[in-house]
Amino acid sequence: MAEPLAAFPDVKDESDRELAARHQVAVRELDGVTVDGLVYEYRTQFHRDPLVTQDGTAYFLSVRGHVWDEFGERMELGEEELERLKQVHDEQFRASVGQGASDEAMILTKE
C-alpha cells in the first residue's frame, strides 16, 4: 500500500496528519472496491464528473457534501473533526492544484 499521506506534503500539524491518514485508510477498507475503483464509480455514477485532475500520487476530486457525510459516519467523526478533515483536504487541494474545488475538495492517495 502506498503511504497514505503521500498526497499531503503540506500538512504539518500532527493531529491533521492523523486525521488525513485515517481517512485514507477508511477509503482502503471499503468492501470490494479499490481507490481506483471508487474514483471510477464516482466518475460514472455522479451527475458531474468529480475528477479535477490526478498525478502519480493522488486523485484530486470535487465532490458533493453527501460524500463527506458518508465518510464522516463511517469514520465516526464528530462535526468539528469532519469540518477539520475537509479543511485539510481543501488546503492541500489548493496547494497542489492551484485552485479550489467547485464543490468540496477530496484527495485520494493512489494505491
Domain assignment of residue 4, yes or no = no
pLDDT band at 4 (very low <50, low <70, confident <90, very high): confident
Encode pLDDT of 7-47 as tens digits: 999 999 999 999 999 999 999 999 999 999 999 999 999 98
Instruction: Answer whether residue 58 is part of any domain.
Output: yes
CA geometry: angle at 63 spanning 58 and 68, to 5°? 95
Instruction: Tell me what percent of the residues of the chain surpass a pLDDT of 90.
Output: 95
Task: Indicate if the pLDDT at residue 1 is higher than 70.
Answer: no
7 within domain boundaries? no
Q: What's the whole-number mean pLDDT along residues 72-88?
A: 97
Residue 55, pLDDT > 70, answer: yes
Nearest residue to 72 (alpha-carbon basis) of 61, 60, 81: 81
- Let me know if residue 52 belongs to a domain: yes
Number of domains in the chain: 1
In a domain, 24, yes or no: yes
Confidence of residue 75 (pLDDT cuts 50, 70, 90): very high
Q: Calculate mean pLDDT across residues 84-107.
A: 97
In a domain, 41, yes or no: yes
Instruction: Say if 3 falls within a structural domain.
Output: no
Are 62 and 104 in contact by the 8 Å Cβ rule? The answer is yes
What pTM was computed for the model? 0.94
Kindly state the cell numbers that stand for 52.
479535477
pLDDT at 29: 94
Residue 78 domain flag: yes
C-alpha dihedral, 87 to 74 to 49 to 105, nearest 10°: 0
Expressed as residue numbers, the domain containing 51 is 14-109
